[in-house]
Amino acid sequence: MKFTCDLCGKEGNLPILCAQCHFCIHETCASSYLRRVKAIRHNHPLHLTYSSREVPQSDSPFCQLCVQKVDIDYGFYYCSSCDYVAHLDCAMDKRNREDINLLKLTDRESNELEIEDLELDGFVDLATYKVKKINVGEDGIEILTEIEHFSHEHDLKLSDEVENNKKCDGCIGAIFPPFYRCAKCNFFLHKSCIELSRKKRHPLHQHPLTFLPKTPYRSKSFGCDACDQSCNGFTYHCEKCKFDLDVQCSLILEIFSHKGHEHLLRLSTTRYSQNCNSCDFKSSPHCYQNYQVLRCITCEFALDFKCAILPLNTRYKQHEHPFFLSYAVEDDSGDYYCDICEKERDLKHWFYYCADCSYRAHPECILGRYPNIKFGGAYTFDSHPHPLTIIEKTNDHPECRKCGEPCEEFFYQCAMCNFSIHKNCLWKGQM
């Protein structure tokens, strides 16, 4: 007997049938879907629903997890308090739901769970710094001119100077005023980075994330689980899962507005193969690292995290003017080449533009291969007696003391004993 499952919408041969209402489902569907689930970043349980009459919408709603349409003629998960809809498989995906059994929770425990989420959502803790000096501006507004931040041993002073080739030690973005700087060492923090909260929830992870000024890993850097880029700045970290978000990715939540697109974008936390409209990279549904994208529910626009966090303006080496991110499909230059690498640019891809010099370049040429690494800092390792400085690249390509190959980019160097080593070789066995 062939039938269409009233829960998943797929065809089958042997249904489980309700004699009274003729409701037919697969035997596997009867045991696969929980009656209630708790989605990450949603304060109420989602209930298994298979009636479109419970959803007060005339058009097919969008799944809040994958940002694709939901056919409400079949089964779905639903929160009537918030009109929140999710596909069956999206809500059941372990990355999208909290690992709790709602059926075993009492009403009191369920209410406490909702209150806990609400308290964390509203949690803002500015105890990351202490105020040392305050000035009062002409408009009567207090200005914090000197602070003590828990990430640094020296006091930081407010500055409005333009600094070329300086990076914020928090988000690793180019330094623009207003920012705080250390008078004794090469340490900078954007004003926005001193105001980051100590804990937060993020839709990409099921546990609360803790703000750490330094990565807990031996390598002194971490791989961001959203944009898949190496970073040595501040991290939002889950110790239980070894999950990390850099500062820029942590600021992207469920609904996101970007100047490169006219509509609002929604964060999709479900694996789905789609090309990024900025760089044309296609994330694979089978790849864990790159499945997170921001999708437009109005059109077919999509943006991956790597492009979503591209700085809207930045600086390049000794170039005197700032560069601005451009989204134009075409420009009036007459030629479509990168002025740095002199290779052809794809007209559909975003690029950086200096209007003062009519200078255009690929994002990777402006920002470098490791845009979220601040080079020049010294770190101590158990495997070497002296501090090692992280180097982006040099002209002489020194020989790696471990493997003997030349160190071309992103390596460590000791100024005291002429010692150089690849970042990967640093962890291969004992030196």
Indicate the domain borders of the chain: 33-121, 129-194, 199-250, 255-308, 310-372, 378-427
33-121 — its CATH code?
Answer: 3.30.60
Residue 30: closest CA among 113, 73, 88: 88
The single-letter code of the amino acid at 132 is K
Identify the weakest region by mean pLDDT among 53-67, 288-302, 324-338. Answer: 53-67
- Looking at the predicted structure, is the pLDDT value of residue 123 above 50? no
* pLDDT given at position 290: 43
Inform me whether the pLDDT recorded for 429 exceeds 50. Answer: no
Average pLDDT, the chain: 84
Which SS3 state, helix, strand or coil, does residue 298 take? coil
Average pLDDT over residues 334-339: 83
The pLDDT of residue 124: 43
58 — pLDDT class (breaks 50, 70, 90) = very low
Q: 378-427 domain in CATH 3.30.60? A: yes
Task: Classify domain 129-194 at the CATH class level.
Answer: alpha beta
**How many residues comprise the chain?**
431
Helix (H, G, I), strand (E, B) or coil at 232: coil
For the ranges 268-272, 291-295, 311-315, 412-416, the lowest mean pLDDT is seen at 268-272
pLDDT band at 126 (very low <50, low <70, confident <90, very high): very low
Enter the pTM of the model: 0.74
pLDDT above 80 for 357: yes
- Residue 11: which residues within 8 A CB-CB, separation 6 or more? 2, 3, 4, 5
pLDDT band at 387; cut points 50, 70, 90: very high
Name 347's Cβ contacts closer than 8 Å, sequence gap at least 6: 329, 330, 336
pLDDT surpasses 60 at 304: yes
Could you tell me the pLDDT band of residue 190, with boundaries at 50, 70 and 90?
very high
User: What 3-state DSSP class applies to 164?
Assistant: coil
Give the range with max mean pLDDT: 104-118, 203-217, 321-335, 360-374: 360-374
pLDDT score for 213? 95
CATH number of 310-372: 3.30.60
Q: Is pLDDT at 165 greater than 70 in this prediction?
A: yes
Range in 264-273, 288-297, 358-367 with the lowest mean pLDDT? 288-297
